[in-house]
Amino acid sequence: MKIKLTVLLLLLAVFSVKAQDYAASLKVGTLGINLEGVRSFGEDFNARVGFAFFNYNYDGGGGDEDFEYSAGLKLFSISMLADYFPFGNTFRLTGGVLINLNTFDVDLVPTETYTVGGDEYTPDKLGKLTAKIDFNKLSPYIGIGIGNPTAGDSGLKFALDIGTVYQGAPKVDLSATGLIEPSAAPDQQEQLQDNVSWFKWFPVVSLGITYKF
């Protein structure tokens, strides 16, 4: 609820201007589906506030595998960006910050029953392993782009963004139940976090349309 209220207040602040000074955009890219409000501050500067979202779930394993897994990617971010047009045309430099609520989680569940020394270990006894990954909540953004939605006459225009978000090293939370609980020991969590620590920069590419009111 607090996040939705924050987005609403930011969008209201952007749109509290004269009609010729603002625009709206709809884009699709690596951050998900992106909705933005844009305000002009003179010929060379724009400010943008928006949010991006996308969810994807995938289930796999089973069959010949000894386990099943369920993975979920949840993208949600709030962006506050400034555009500078150094050459007076549609090319722009962009900087700002994202409230980064992107997460990734996966559940791993054994599907086979094992017999060791006469003892039977069913999937229920073995338990479940869960890994959750998130990132720095406040993530700087820098990039370039093509398109000035507040320039010229009212109507539709195209926009392209290319940039990167510094999200820091991913934070891993590993947990488990049942007999496989030792698999989530602190040293295992640290090892997994080390394995994904390279993913500090999130690439951003988006393409969409804008409308000047």
Q: What is the mean pLDDT of the chain?
A: 91
| Percent of the chain residues past pLDDT 90, beyond the cut | 77
Using only C-alpha atoms, the chain has a radius of gyration, in whole angstroms, of: 23
Is the per-residue pLDDT at 186 higher than 60?
A: yes
For residue 202, the SS3 value is: strand
Q: Exposure of 32 by Cβ count < 10 A (0-12 exposed, 13-18 middle, 19+ buried)?
A: buried
For residue 190, the SS3 value is: helix
Separation between Cα atoms, residue 104 and residue 15, nearest integer Å? 33
Please write the tens of the pLDDT for every residue from 17-45: 444 589 999 999 999 999 999 999 988 99
**Mean pLDDT, range 177-201, rounded to an integer:** 94
**CATH at residue 27:** 2.40.160.170
> Could you tell me if residue 200 is left (phi over 0), alpha (psi between -120 and 50 degrees) or otherwise beta?
alpha
Please write the tens of the pLDDT for every residue from 76-103: 999 999 999 999 899 999 999 999 999 9
Separation between Cα atoms, residue 179 and residue 127, nearest integer Å? 6
**Mean pLDDT, range 165-176, rounded to an integer:** 96
Q: Exposure of 81 by Cβ count < 10 A (0-12 exposed, 13-18 middle, 19+ buried)?
A: buried
Is the per-residue pLDDT at 207 higher than 60?
A: yes
In 10 A of CB 111, how many CB atoms? 13
Res 116: pLDDT: 84
* Cα torsion 163, 134, 209, 6: sign: negative
Is the per-residue pLDDT at 137 higher than 90?
A: yes
Separation between Cα atoms, residue 109 and residue 129, nearest integer Å? 7
Residue 35 domain boundaries: 2-212
Give the H or E element holding residue 188: helix 186-195
Please give the structure tokens belonging to residue 95: 């900087």
Is the per-residue pLDDT at 9 higher than 60?
A: no
| Percent of the chain residues past pLDDT 70, beyond the cut | 91
Give the list of residues 6+ apart from residue 10 with CB closer than 8 angstroms, or none.
37, 49, 78, 80
Closest listed residue to residue 132, CA positions, set 187, 87, 175? 175
What's this model's pTM, rounded to 2 decimal places?
A: 0.84
Res 7: pLDDT: 55
Please give the structure tokens belonging to residue 195: 């394995």
Domains identified in the chain, total number: 1
For residue 94, the SS3 value is: strand
pLDDT band for position 8 (cuts 50, 70, 90): low
